[in-house]
Amino acid sequence: MAAIKLTRAHRILVAIVLTGAVIIAAIGFVGSYAAVRDLAERKGFGEFAPFFPIGVDAGIVVLLALDLLLTWLRIPFPLLRQSAWLLTAATIAFNGASAWGDPLGVGMHAIIPVLFVITVEAARHAIGRVADITADRHMEGVRMWRWFLSPVPTFRLWRRMKLWELRSYQEVIAMERDRLVYQAQLRAEYGRAWRRRAPVEARMPLKLARYGVPLRDTAATGLAAARPRPAMERQRTLPERGRADAAAFGEIPGAAPDPGEGRLAQP
């Protein structure tokens, strides 16, 4: 799959998002610095108290930036993301402690860090998706309405996608449609008990479809095995079968029996 090309409008939007993320981070740091510093002083941090909030916020930025970088390189390390979440939650708790007992104050202290985390998570999602598309490793998801309208068949379809790395949703839908059509053809040919009556060769394409093999590659062979011989062909084989039987008994060696022979002479 080709790499995504950014237009001028895309670049402008990216610049706006980056600028906004930096502003949100700066406001959050400035707003929480005094509250976390005062809390550290009350907890006995002494001269280290002014540096404690700087270390926590710097740790969040470094962990999130490294997580974004590794996601871009397609070598993500989940512990980085989880650690950044933990530090962010700690920052929210430290800020909320200064307004403990006032729900509105706690919420006001938490809103900026939450906005920053949401922004970074959105960026991480976009970077991971673009990296997968560029490397042709992106796996599309199943539509939500399909889960709601047909949950059990959709689970089977989703399971097949995940097991056999079928990345295109449209391709999987086409394969499922081909499977249902092929199954309907066998049922029309052999009735409700087609699973018992159909020959193994005719049922083999359905078994291979479970392992991600498209029916378009195997359906022709299966239908040829399932299709009965025409009546004219069966009639043509009857003299050949009789000739073989006669040759086996030595009655007419090397030649086909005359249809008139063997009949009783009419008086």
Residue 10 has a CB neighbour count (10 Å cut-off) of 11
Q: 146-178: per-residue pLDDT in tens?
A: 888 888 988 988 888 888 777 788 888 888 888
Contacts of 68 by beta carbon, 8 Å cutoff, 6+ apart: 120, 123, 124, 127
Whether residue 28 is predicted with pLDDT greater than 50 in this model: the reply is yes
Identify the band that residue 68 occupies on the pLDDT scale cut at 50, 70 and 90.
Answer: confident
Tell me the average pLDDT across 128-155. 79
What mean pLDDT, rounded, does the chain reach? 77
Give the three-state DSSP class for 166. coil
As a whole number, mean pLDDT of residues 6-34 equals 84
Q: Ranked by mean pLDDT, which of 62-76, 127-141, 215-229, 248-262 comes out on top?
A: 62-76
Q: Which amino acid is it at 209?
A: A
Residue 71 binned pLDDT confidence (cut-offs 50, 70, 90): confident
Q: Would you list the domain boundaries of the chain?
A: 8-134, 144-226
Rg (CA), the chain: 36
The more confidently predicted of residues 55 and 92 is 55
Query: Tens digit of pLDDT for each residue in 226-264?
Result: 665 444 444 444 444 444 444 444 544 444 455 544 444
- For the stretch 186-229, pLDDT in tens is 888 888 888 888 888 888 888 888 777 887 778 777 777 766 54
Q: Find the mean pLDDT for residues 124-141.
A: 74
Tell whether the torsion through CA atoms of 196, 202, 207 and 209 is positive or negative: negative
Please enumerate in sequence order all residues whose Cβ is within 8 A of that of 199, keeping only pairs 6 or more positions apart, or say none: 225, 226
Q: What percent of the chain has pLDDT over 90?
A: 1
Model pLDDT, residue 216: 78
Output the CA angle 5-20-97, nearest 5 degrees.
135
**Taking the C-alpha atoms of 126, 127, 128 and 131 in order, what is their torsion angle to the nearest 10 degrees?**
120
| Whole-number percent of the chain with pLDDT over 70 | 78
pTM for this entry: 0.54
220-259: burial string, b at 16+ Cβ within 10 Å, e else = eebbeebeeeeeeeeeeeeeeeeeeebeeeeeeeeeeeee
pLDDT band at residue 135 under the 50/70/90 scheme:
low
How many residues in total does the chain contain? 267
Q: What does DSSP assign to residue 24? A: H
pLDDT at 3: 58
